[in-house]
């Protein structure tokens, strides 16, 4: 017979606590520069100057270029390389730590922007591809590291809000880029490329990124208000890490997420290409600015909802999933109708044109949907992770899977024949295929069986981590 597992409350003769809810503990004294909010802010600033500004350029459509095809090719290369670098992240963390991985991961973003600058100003194409390669090697490490930090550093009862707060900074990059471009291009009602001065600003900001990352606390220095220590160390050798990461990828709990992740992130190339093909320069800038604001608001609302601990976890997870997936389907239907019409009429919409609202609105909502899917995917990873080591692996797999879908998306949208309508059709179909497997995962969250597994496996894995740490 298996030994009976007693909770802390039972050992101390205290009333039992519902395992579906985060434990309510007395707040511990926390120094502000060691707090989870401080670290979420530093992580957010890193996200702003790295993927945030990357998103800012792409939210202008094709990285601000006049045509999307070369930039989409470069982005496809970036995401192909990110699949590999994400997969290797847990091995990198073993040797340089999670903070070191974050610093190294920020190095490749400035060369990417430099390639776009030279292409925009002088027509140079080779650095677009080379910069995309540099970005892919480092960005995969950054993406996996930042997701692991965001999930593991936060207190369980505040995780939804802090993840939403971190992702908000990423969108601030897009909002900032949109505001700059809107100011510089407000009089340009025709199709074309964005002012090259914007790229110089972005390159300078991204070059500062690694120095900002140095301000992050190491896990052992973080002070959580619930008193729980943060552990994100990797103890296994690189070969064992690769095997463990691969094993988790083929587990049922992760495979059920793959199509859901895909329908969410595949849309990025679709709506950025849509923005580049059918709108004037100033309308593209407005889209970058306004969609970022809407995405931030939606993401914060979702984070707040997921942390409503007086509502059962079952209701929170299922209602969030239901709203996100239903809205996503409605937006894909809207997009499909639009691109089918535009492919026949070849319009270029400016905000002064009739029909602009119908064409423009779906872009704003799709960017918001992208943010919601990101936030909810992090929530799912936090629920299915059984240990600090596994959080790093799952975060790497999440970002690697996202990269694979985005590589496919940008690669296909680099083909002129596919970019106009094919991407929207494919994405709509992918959304339909994701419904059942995603629901099979979400329906388990918060149930007694899932909570019992969550508690027992966390206790076992934490003891295993302690043992490995002592052996090391």
Q: CATH for 32-226+251-465?
A: 1.20.1250.20
Q: What are the backbone angles phi and psi of residue 349, rounded to the nearest 5°? A: -85, 135
On whether the CB atoms of residues 331 and 365 are closer than 8 A, the answer is yes
Q: What is the pLDDT of residue 106?
A: 94
Q: Each residue of 122-168: pLDDT tens digit?
A: 888 888 899 999 999 999 999 999 989 998 898 888 888 999 999 89
Note the pLDDT of residue 11.
Answer: 42
In 3D space, the residue among 379, 266, 260 whose CA is nearest the CA of residue 316 turns out to be: 379
Predicted pLDDT of residue 65 = 47
For 331, other C-beta atoms within 10 Å of its C-beta total: 24
Q: Does the pLDDT value for residue 185 go beyond 70?
A: no
Q: Give residue-wise pLDDT tens across range 53-82.
A: 887 776 554 444 445 677 778 888 988 999
- The confidence band for 99, taking pLDDT boundaries of 50, 70 and 90, is very high
- pLDDT confidence bin for 199, thresholds 50/70/90: confident
Reported pTM: 0.80
Max avg pLDDT among 16-25, 388-397, 449-458: 388-397
Mean pLDDT of 285-307: 91
What percent of the chain has pLDDT above 90? 45
Q: Is the pLDDT of residue 257 over 90?
A: yes
Distance CA 168, CA 288 (A): 14
Domain edges within the chain:
32-226+251-465
Instruction: Report the chain's C-alpha Rg in angstroms.
Output: 22
**279: pLDDT strictly greater than 70:** yes
CB 141 within 8 A of CB 368: no
Question: Taking a C-beta distance cutoff of 8 angstroms, is the pair 153, 40 a contact?
Answer: yes
Reading phi first (left if > 0) and then psi (alpha if -120 to 50, else beta), residue 62 is in left
Asked if 186 and 256 touch (Cβ cutoff 8 Å), the reply is no
Distance CA 35, CA 159 (A): 13
Question: Would you say residue 468 has pLDDT above 80?
Answer: no
Q: What interhelical angle do 422-442 and 267-278 show, nearest 10?
A: 150
Q: What is the DSSP string of 270-298?
A: HHHHHHHHHB-HHHHHHHHHHHHHHHHHH
Q: Please give the Cα distance from 130 to 143 (Å, whole number).
A: 20
Mean pLDDT across the chain, nearest whole number? 83
* Contact in structure between 128 and 70 (CB atoms under 8 Å): yes
Say whether pLDDT at 3 is over 50. Answer: no
Q: 3-state class of 20 per DSSP?
A: coil
């Amino acid at each position: 017979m298996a030994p009976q597992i007693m909770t802390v409350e039972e050992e101390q003769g205290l009333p039992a606590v519902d395992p579906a809810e985060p434990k309510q503990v007395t707040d511990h004294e926390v120094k502000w520069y060691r707090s989870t909010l401080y670290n979420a802010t530093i992580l957010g600033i890193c996200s702003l100057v790295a993927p945030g500004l990357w998103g800012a350029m792409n939210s202008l459509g094709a990285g601000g270029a006049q045509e999307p095809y070369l930039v989409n090719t470069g982005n496809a290369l970036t995401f192909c390389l990110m699949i590999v670098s994400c997969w290797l992240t847990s091995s990198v963390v073993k040797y340089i730590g999670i903070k070191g991985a974050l610093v190294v991961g920020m190095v490749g973003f400035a060369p990417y922007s430099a390639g776009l600058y030279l292409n925009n100003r002088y027509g140079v194409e080779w650095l677009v591809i080379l910069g995309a390669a540099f970005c892919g090697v480092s960005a995969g490490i950054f993406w996996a590291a930042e997701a692991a930090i965001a999930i593991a550093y936060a207190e369980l009862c505040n995780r939804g809000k802090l993840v939403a707060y971190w992702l908000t900074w990423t969108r601030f990059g897009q909002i900032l880029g949109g505001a700059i471009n809107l100011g510089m291009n407000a009089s340009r009602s025709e199709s074309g490329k964005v002012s090259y001065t914007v790229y110089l600003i972005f390159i300078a900001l991204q070059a500062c990124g690694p120095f900002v990352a140095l301000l992050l606390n190491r896990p052992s220095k973080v002070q959580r208000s619930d008193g729980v220590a943060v552990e994100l160390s990797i103890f296994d050798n690189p070969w064992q890490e690769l095997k463990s990461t691969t094993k988790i990828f083929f587990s049922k709990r992760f495979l059920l997420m793959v199509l859901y992740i895909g329908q969410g992130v595949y849309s990025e190339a679709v709506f950025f290409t849509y923005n580049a093909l059918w709108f004037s320069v100033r309308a593209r800038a407005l889209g970058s600015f306004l969609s970022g604001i809407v995405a931030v608001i939606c993401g914060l609302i979702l984070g707040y909802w997921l942390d409503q601990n007086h509502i059962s976890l079952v209701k929170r997870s299922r209602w969030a999933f239901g709203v996100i997936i239903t809205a996503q389907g409605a937006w894909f239907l809207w997009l499909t109708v639009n691109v089918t019409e535009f492919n026949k009429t070849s319009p270029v919409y400016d905000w002064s044109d009739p029909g602009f609202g119908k064409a423009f609105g779906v872009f704003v909502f799709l960017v918001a949907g992208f943010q919601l899917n990101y936030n909810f995917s992090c929530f799912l990873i936090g629920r299915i992770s059984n240990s600090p080591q596994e959080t790093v692996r799952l975060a790497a797999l999440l970002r690697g899977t996202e990269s694979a879908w985005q590589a496919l998306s940008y690669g296909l949208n680099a083909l002129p024949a596919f970019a106009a309508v094919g991407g929207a059709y494919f994405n709509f179909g992918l959304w339909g295929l994701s419904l059942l497997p995603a629901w099979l995962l979400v329906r388990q969250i918060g149930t007694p069986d899932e909570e019992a597994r969550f508690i027992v496996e966390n206790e076992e894995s934490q003891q295993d981590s302690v043992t490995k740490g002592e052996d090391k």
